[in-house]
Structure 1
Amino acid sequence: MRSIPLTFCAAAVAAATLVPASAALADSPAGHGDGRSRATLTITPASATPGAEVDLRVEGCKGKEARGSSDAFVTEARFSPAADRGALFAEARIRSDAEPGDYDVRVVCKDSAHTEVSGALTVVHRGRPMPVAPVRAGGGGTAVLADKAAQQDGPGTAHAVTGLALAAVAAVAVALRSVRRRRPASD
Structure 2
Amino acid sequence: SLRIRKCPHALGRKEEYVATFKGSEFFCYDLSLNPIQSSSDEITLSFKTLQRNGLMLHTGKSADYVNLALKNGAVSLVINLGSGAFEALVEPVNGKFNDNDWHDVKVTRNLRQVTISVDGILTTTGYTQEDYTMLGSDDFFYVGGSPSTADLPGSPVSNNFMEVYFFFILMSPLVLNKPVEEF
Question: So what's the TM-score if we normalise by structure 1?
Answer: 0.28
| Higher CA-based Rg | 1
> Looking at both structures, which has the greater relative contact order when contacts are Cα pairs under 8 Å and sequence separation is at least 6?
2
Query: Is the helix fraction higher in 1 or 2?
Result: 1
Query: Is the strand fraction higher in 1 or 2?
Result: 2
